[in-house]
Every structure is written in structure tokens, then in C-alpha cells.
Amino acid sequence: MVGFKQTLCVLLLATVSGIALAQNNTNSPYTRYGYGDLSSPNFGNSRAMGGIAYGLRDGSQINPMNPASYTSVDSLTFIFEGGMSMQNDNLSDGLLKMNVKNSSFDYLAMQFRAHRRLALTVGLLPYSSVGYNVAQAYSETATTPNYTKQVYGDGGLHQVFGGIGAKVFNNFSLGANISFLWGDISRSLTMIYPSYPSSSGSGTTTPSYSETTYSSFKSYKIDLGAQYTQAFGQKHKVTLGAVFSPGHHLNNETTIQTSTSVTTTSDSIATFGIPTSFGVGFTYKYDDRLTFGADYSKEYWGDVTYMNQPNAFCDRTKISAGAEYIPSKMARNYLALIKYRIGGYYQTPYYKTENGERAAREWGVSAGFGLPLPRSRSLISVTAQYIHVKGLQQSMISENILRLSIGITFNERWFFKRKVD
């Protein structure tokens, strides 16, 4: 049974994650598009390996990106994982620079075997984050006066999921995650014009325009997965993985309010959707000490309707690769027991600018460690990531992000009978 200190840590993680859900954890101007910054559901080991997950199969850690991997947990083990991140973000448009710092809740989940061929997982994950506050002054032209435009956004979506993995054959598993998706996103646009003489000749007026959109979401999300593992000799093993998620419209309540100096109007009908997506990947494992893998995924955001606007986004693709190495599983030297991880990825975000062009491209590299706790099967995962987001249009923002992620995995033997002499 988990000891008092470990139980206390579990409760602390649960409390911190609940607080973090209510906080704004991003300051990226790209979150003004769509649902904002889409959160990565990778856990500690996957995140340090460039985000690979579809073929990743590790009975000591949870992998929610492919629910077929749940069957890798053994019948005596209960796993509890939680993680958080801190990041430093440098933004630049080529002329001006700004630095912002944020922290975020990453994941919280538990996993256990329900039957010799069935494993269950429940967890809490962020889906997206919105957080920006940008103001820009425009000079007078032949057709418009000088004015200031300010945009502001806040909120995000979250998901709580239940997953099941079933071992169909000894080397083939299927799995599914069913998630409840919810959250609120608010956005505002304000145009401030200079004062000018009124038509009556007495005093001045300051015409302005503002638009406020508030959306509340309550819907579902389904993810399906499969994994096939084939051994070659005693030391070589290859796992192939695939995932699929159907797209659909989201249940929502949306209010759009616009106002000027003389009129105010309100609208409350909007259509939102999430995309159909798929991913494939593999891992190669040698002697249970060296693991290498690669993934490819595509999300069809180009087919999604957002705020009644069809084709509001670009398709999102991602390629990632990574590796993990353990010098020895039986050594007395602590350094030989550490899991050393490295990886990288390249992706095309789903953001589309107002003129219909792709807004940015993104790549990142990562490295980290899996630090085993003494006299325990539990470990701490530490990951450092460098992420570069490149704006593709003129005057678009580029971002350089340094992120430190820490995850705790409690891996305990709960389901066994103790013998008393």
C-alpha cells in the first residue's frame, strides 16, 4: 500500500491541478486564433522523447495518447502520475521584444489492471489555453483617422477522460478514451478613435467600437488506438501503433455583443467543431534498455467550422522522433539506473490569419531524465524543452520558449496478497 508521504503527495498534486485549471497559463499572441494553444497530452517520458507516443509501450508509466498501451501495466501495479511545467517565452516581431513567464498544469492520471486482459485509466488534461492582451496604434491615412486597436482573450478547454485497453491477442491490443470536454473562452476587440466636433457644434464625441464574445463548451471527445508488438530473438522488439479520433461539432453557448457610441446589438448562435485526426508510429526496443521511436500525425482542422466560419483553420501535421537509454537495470551505481531521454519534433500549427494564410510553423527539441526514487518503483521525470514558433507573415510574432517540465510517477504494487508466517 502507498505510504503516508506518497498519499500526501497524491493529494497535493490533485489540489494543485484543480487550482491550475482556473489560471491563465499562456501569453502567446497566437492564442487569439481558434481555441488557442493546443495542449500536448504527453506525459513525462514521452515529452522528453520529442512527443513520440503511438508506438510507446511502457508498463511503468501511463501513455494516454494511445489507449491500447494501457495493457502493458502488470496485474499487481497501480500507477498514479501528475505533472506541471514552467516556461520562459521571448516574443519578437523583428522590432520589439517582450519576455513573459508562465506555469501550467500538464496532467493527472491513474492506471490499474481490471482483468488479465483489461486495463483502466482515468485522468485530467488541459485541451487548450487562451491568453493574450495586445494593443496596436494605427496612423492616419487618406480614408481613416488614427486609431488604437486592442484585442484581449482568456480561458481554455479541459478534458477529463476514462480509458480502457484490451489485449485481444498476446501481442495485439486495442483501446479507447472517452473524454468530457468543457471550458470557457472570452475574447474582446476594441477600436478607439480620436475625438472630433459633434454635428451640433457643441462639444466633441469619441466614437468607438467594441465586440465581446463569450463561449461556454460542454461536449465529448473519443480517441481510439491499436498496438502490435513483435519480438525478434531475445533482445529485439518492435511495436507498431495507430490512433484515430473522429471530429464533430461541439455543444456550446455563445454570446456575441457589439456596441458603438450609439447602438448595442447581441447575437447568440454559433457553430464550433473539432477535427478528425489520425496518427501512426513505431518504437524499437533493444534489451529493454534502449528505446527508439518516431511518430506522424495529422489533424484535419481545415475541415472544421469555427464561429460559423467553415475552413477557419489549416490542417495540423506533426513529425517527432526520440530515444531513451538505461545503462543498467540492476547496477548499484545510481547514475546507471537513470533513464536518459532525448527527442525533437516539427509541426505546422492550425492557426490561419485573417487573410487566409498559414500563420506559423513550429519545431522543438527536448532532453530529460527519469530519476528513480530509492527503494521504490516510482520515479521523477525532468524534461527541458526548447521550442521555436516562426511567424510566416509580415510583422507576425516569433517565439522562443524554454520550458521545464516535472512529472511524478507513483508506481506501486497494490494488488497482491501478503503472506504472514
H or E element, residue 85: strand 77-92
Instruction: Find where cell 454635428 sits.
Output: 199
C-alpha cell at position 137: 496604434
Residues 167-179: tens digit of each pLDDT:
999 899 999 999 9
Is residue 326 predicted with pLDDT exceeding 90? Answer: yes
Pairing of β 277-286 and β 290-299: antiparallel
Is residue 20 predicted with pLDDT exceeding 70? Answer: no
Among the residue ranges 12-21, 198-207, 327-336, 347-356, the one predicted with the least confidence is 12-21
Q: Please state, in angstroms and rounded to a whole number, the distance separating the CA atoms of residues 122 and 124.
A: 7
Q: Domains in the chain, start-ordered, CATH in brackets?
A: 4-413 (2.40.160.60)
- Name, in order, each residue with C-beta under 8 angstroms of 419's C-beta and a sequence gap of 6 or more: none
Is residue 201 predicted with pLDDT exceeding 60? Answer: no
Q: Please state, in angstroms and rounded to a whole number, the distance separating the CA atoms of residues 36 and 26.
A: 9
pLDDT for position 190: 87
pLDDT for position 196: 58
* Cα separations in angstroms, 261 against 40, 138, 190, 206, 210: 43, 20, 12, 8, 9
Residues 210-258: tens digit of each pLDDT:
888 999 999 999 999 999 999 998 899 999 999 999 999 999 989 888 8
Q: Is 44 exposed, middle or buried (0-12, 13-18, 19+ CB in 10 A)?
A: buried
Is residue 408 predicted with pLDDT exceeding 80? Answer: yes
Residues 59-88: tens digit of each pLDDT:
889 999 999 999 998 877 889 999 999 999
**CA-closest candidate to residue 79, choices 420, 382, 378:** 378
Q: What is the pTM of this model?
A: 0.87
Maximum CA pair distance of the chain?
A: 102
Within 10 A of 110 (CB to CB), how many other CB atoms are there? 16
Residues 259-285: tens digit of each pLDDT:
876 566 666 678 899 999 999 999 999
Q: Please give the single-letter amino acid code of residue 203.
A: G
